[in-house]
Structure formats: C-alpha cells, structure tokens
Amino acid sequence: MGFFSRLGSLIRGFFGLFVGGLEESNPNLLFEDIKNQINKARKEAEQQIIEIQTNAEMIKIEMKTAEKNLNAIRARIEAAQRQGDKELLVELLVQEEEYQTAYETYKETHDNALREVENIRENYKVFEAEMTAKLNELKTLKTQEKMASSRKISTR
C-alpha cells in the first residue's frame, strides 16, 4: 500500500470520527480545512508522481542500454555460429542470458513504476471526489443555516 493511499485512509478515518460534530458547530472551519487537505493531497500526489516518473525515465534509459547490449550480443552469437566457434558461442549465450535477465528486470521495474503513477492518480481522484462531496454537503449546510437565520430575522 502506497503512502498516498495510507494518507487517504487516515484522512477518511479522521473525517468519519470528527466531521459530524464539526459540521454542525462550525461548517466554515471545516470547509476551509477540507480545501486545505485537498490542496495538500494534490501537492503530495504530484510530488510522488514526479519522483516515480523521474525514476521510471532513469530505468528506461538503463532498459534501452540493456536492450542495445542484448542486440549486440545476439549479433555476435550469429557471427560465432557462422564461424563455428563453439567456445565463444557458449560464452556469448551465457552473456545473452545475463543481458536478457537484466533487460526483463528493467522492463518489469519500469512497468511497475508506470502502474504506481496510475494508482496514485486514481487514489487522488477518489480522495478528491470524496472531499468534493463533503464540500458540497457543507455548502448545503451553510445554505440551510443562512435560510434558518433569515427566517428567524423575518419572524421577529
């Protein structure tokens, strides 16, 4: 579980415990707090995405280097086969296996990084939707409070 999803769970848990009383007693404070939390979560998500994408790009460079090495070894294997040099061929086949393993490892790591970026984006969208729903509830409460105040004033 990533940091962002734990943060989202923590915030949702916090709201589950305390929002009820706060909404009724002071919706303006909660309204601002939710806005601040959305902004903070967005900044954290953006920072995580930047870090992961930077790492993914570095891994991609390593992956391309491993791919070039793999292609070069394969070309040397073909040449060794044509020449019939079995000792060199065995050595090159071992190297090919090492380069293939390295390439696959880099590719898997790169793909995982891209999936993690997508997960962070999705988790943020869910968090933002929940907080937006909470903001809408607070707006409704504020409107109801204003209407109740106007009724009290008009009945006096």
Q: What is the pLDDT of residue 13?
A: 67
Task: Tell me the domain boundaries of the chain.
Answer: 33-126
pTM exceeds cut of 0.85: no
HEC-encoded secondary structure of the chain: CCHHHHHHHHHHHHHHHHHHHHHHHCHHHHHHHHHHHHHHHHHHHHHHHHHHHHHHHHHHHHHHHHHHHHHHHHHHHHHHHHHCCHHHHHHHHHHHHHHHHHHHHHHHHHHHHHHHHHHHHHHHHHHHHHHHHHHHHHHHHHHHHHHHHHHHHHHC
Q: What is the pLDDT of residue 14?
A: 63
Is residue 96 within 8 Å of 77, Cβ to Cβ? yes
Per-residue pLDDT of the chain (156 residues; tens, 9 = 90+): 566 677 677 667 666 665 555 555 666 777 777 788 888 888 888 898 899 889 999 999 999 999 999 999 999 999 999 999 999 999 999 999 999 999 999 999 999 999 998 998 898 888 888 888 888 887 887 788 778 777 777 776
Q: What is the pLDDT of residue 154?
A: 73
| Nearest of 137, 113, 94 to residue 49 by alpha carbon | 113
Record the tokens describing residue 86, joined without a space: 């079995």
What is the C-alpha R_g of the chain? 29
Is residue 133 within 8 Å of 19, Cβ to Cβ? no
Q: What is the pLDDT of residue 144?
A: 80
Q: What is the pLDDT of residue 60?
A: 92
Rounded CA gap, 151 and 114, in Å?
55
CB count, 10 Å around CB of 48?
19
